[in-house]
Amino acid sequence: MAVPLLNCDMGESFGNYSLGLDSEVMPYVDCANIACGYHASDPHVMRRTVRLAVAHGVRVGAHPAYPDLMGFGRRSMACSAEEVEDLVLYQVGALAGICQAEGTVIRYVKPHGALYNDMARDPELLRAVMRAVRSYDAGLPLMVMATADPAPSRRLAQEMGITIWFETFADRAYDATGHLVSRRQPGAVHHDQSTIVAQAVSLARGEPLEAIDGTPLQLPCDTLCVHGDNPESVASVRAIRQAFQALATP
């Protein structure tokens, strides 16, 4: 069976501040979502991360965010749809220049943090991000949050003439609508490896999850987000890769 692509947020260090175990997790993922300088990263980190992705044959994706370096892009900002379109295009362009220098190209776009969550709830912001992607390269897929009702996103993508990839999470709890439970709530983030791998396998098989209120939740899954923030999360990524290899073996 075909399994979802594994994607991971990377290149989030900044100057003297080091975040994430990019070199440890890169061998186990298919897609590297590289921060573009607005919520994390700097030109040197971006280039180093692109080089690392190229060395491992991993697809490079732009990971644009609100201009919120202090808040790591996790705070919503009062940006108009036009501002969101331009700031996404600006960040994609910055990473594209580094990719060209390293002999590769951007393969997809995945917004980060609050911008990602806001566009899942606001069709005008989603439309703005889609316009930015289409303006740069209409052939680039845009990662969007998988929810219990994917039809509106599908309709808008068809209207805008772009491809979308529905993204799910192995280490996060969901509410009944398919939105991520806020990190402020207990149980929002899974830490047990067996729980994380089991959720990843269920998503890959197209099986329903149990939402935080106990109701069954069916989500489309083109790609699965994993994390490499610490040795335990890297071990979980390795375990998910092994489980997916077993699923793909006839």
pLDDT in tens, 170-227: 999 999 999 999 888 988 999 999 999 999 999 999 999 999 999 999 999 999 999 9
Mean pLDDT, the chain, rounded, equals 95
Q: CB–CB of 98/34 below 8 Å?
A: no
* CATH entry, 5-248, from 3.20.20.70, 3.20.20.370, 3.90.1170.50, 3.90.1720.10: 3.20.20.370
User: How confident is residue 7, by pLDDT bands cut at 50, 70 and 90?
Assistant: very high
pLDDT in tens, 54-81: 999 999 999 999 999 999 999 999 999 9
User: Which helix or strand (DSSP H or E) is residue 143 part of?
Assistant: strand 142-145
Assessment of whether the complete model's pTM goes beyond 0.85: yes
Per-domain residue ranges of the chain: 5-248
* pLDDT surpassing 80 at residue 1: no
Rounded to whole angstroms, the Cα distance separating 243 from 246 reads 5
Q: Length of the chain, please?
A: 250
Q: What's the confidence (pLDDT) of residue 19?
A: 93
Find all residues with CB under 8 Å of 131, minimum gap 6, and list them.
Answer: 85, 160
Rounded to whole angstroms, the Cα distance separating 27 from 23 reads 8
